[in-house]
Amino acid sequence: MPGYQFQTTITLENPNDKELIVSIPRGTLIEPKSTHLTYQSAIISKDYIFRLNPKEVRSVILDAECWNKNLSPPRKIQGQITSLKGNIKTETDIWLVSSKPKSDTISISPSQDAHVYSALTNSDLNIAQNFLSFAIDHSHNDGNDIEKRKKELYDIKQSRFSSQKKIKNLCNIANDPQIHPYVSAKYLRNFLISNLPPTWENMRIINKMVRNVYALTSHQLARNLYNIVQEVAELDEKSKFEIQEENQEKFKSIARNKYNSLLDALPLLDEVQW
């Protein structure tokens, strides 16, 4: 196991006239004071519970591990408690947790449009391209002249641009006033129903899109949608470990129901202030 253990001493004082229970759970982070930031923070490696008598002052020694891989080991450095805990519930390799961002992290740029289409481009470029094609067709059917945009979309599909550049160009097309009404959440719902069967893989893509939406707006609706996709993701995880086919089907059926509810609620995104 990388990293190493060291001890942390805390002197506690109970200023009250009654007994005080103090818990310091595994995962609690203690950082060095600002004057010593080149030293490692400590992550508590066990669960501790202490009972302090009224007015008692007592030092306690705690087992900790270093949180920062590339900083200096602390040697009698002044620290301070934080209101944070490291996500080490199921992990003993601390540096694996502290050195790499969570694997399902999505990356967004500051100028990303607060719009459902922008969230989709940032989740799956192919689906975003196909949906834009769908939107362009609808705009065309309604009598708009969007041949130039059609050509631009074709060029993007054929190009070897970086994904960032593709996202930017797709969003530019989607922002065309003649196309923008057709990349709404309502149209997206129709597109998803007719083009994206609710397989686990597809549900994961929509899960990612909703996480993007949640990162772009504080609206309660986005929060509710996010809660649904978290539930779908949990069912997805459960299903992977389920041996019995019957139970796998059960999980999938529940997930599909939730996914359908999500699609039904999607058009409401067109009505909220992002």
Partner 1 sequence: MIQIYCDLVFEEPVEIPFSIVEQLLKEYFPHSDVIIKSSAFDNHFLINIKMYVIELSWEKLLTALRLIRGHIQESGIELHNIILGSNQRLYTHYNRFFEDNGIWIDGLLVQEFDSQALLEFLKGNNAIQIDHWYFISFEQSDEDTDDEGIENVAPDEHIRVFGKRVNGSNTQSGVPVSLKIRTMEGYTLTDYISKTYQDALHPENRIGGLNVILTTVLQMNNKVNLINHYSERANSSEDLFLFSLPSLNLEVIDERDKTHIANLASSGDLIIKDIILGE
Restricted to residues 229-248, the positions that interact with partner 1 (CB under 8 A) are 230, 240
List all residues 6 or more positions away from 243 whose beta carbon is below 8 Å from its beta carbon.
Answer: none
Give, as ranges, the residues between 83 and 142 that touch partner 1 (CB under 8 A): 83-88, 93, 96-111, 124-126
Counting contacts by CB under 8 A, is residue 49 touching partner 1?
A: yes
Among 19, 47, 53, 82, binds partner 1 (CB under 8 A): 82
Neighbours of 8 (CB within 10 A): 17
Using CB under 8 A as the binding rule, whether residue 194 contacts partner 1 is answered as no
Q: How far apart are alpha carbons 76 and 70 in whole angstroms?
A: 18
Identity of the residue, 146 or 225, whose beta carbon is nearer to partner 1 in the bound complex: 225
151 HSE (CA, 13 A, CB side) = 4
Chosen residue from 141, 162, 194, 273 binding partner 1 by CB under 8 A: 162
Closest distance to partner 1 from the beta carbon of 251 (Å) = 14
For position 223 contacting partner 1 by CB under 8 A, the verdict is: yes
10 binds partner 1 (CB under 8 A): yes
- Burial letters 194-218, b for 16+ CB under 10 A, else e: eebebebebbbbbbbbbbbbbbbbe
Q: Which residues sit opposite 29 in a β-bridge?
A: 43
Least distance from partner 1 to the Cβ atom of residue 18, Å: 10
Total residues contacting partner 1 by CB under 8 A comes to: 95
By CB under 8 A, the residues from 60 to 79 that bind partner 1 are 64, 67-71, 73-79
Asked if 28 interacts with partner 1 (CB under 8 A), we say yes
Applying CB under 8 A, which part among 27-35, 134-142, 182-190, 266-274 lies near partner 1?
A: 27-35
For the CB of residue 135, give the shortest distance to partner 1 in the complex, in Å: 19
What's the CA dihedral at 196, 117, 163, 107 to 10 degrees? -100
Residue 32 near partner 1 by CB under 8 A? yes
Under the criterion CB under 8 A, does residue 163 sit at the interface with partner 1? yes
- How open is the CA angle 62-68-72, to the nearest 5 degrees? 85
Tell me how far CA of residue 101 lies from CA of 95, 96, 105, 137, in angstroms. 11, 9, 7, 40
Least separation in angstroms between CB 161 and partner 1: 8
Q: Whole-angstrom Cα distance, residue 6 to residue 43?
A: 10
- H-helix or E-strand spanning residue 245: helix 245-265
Binding mask 166-185 for partner 1 (x = CB under 8 A): -xx-----------------
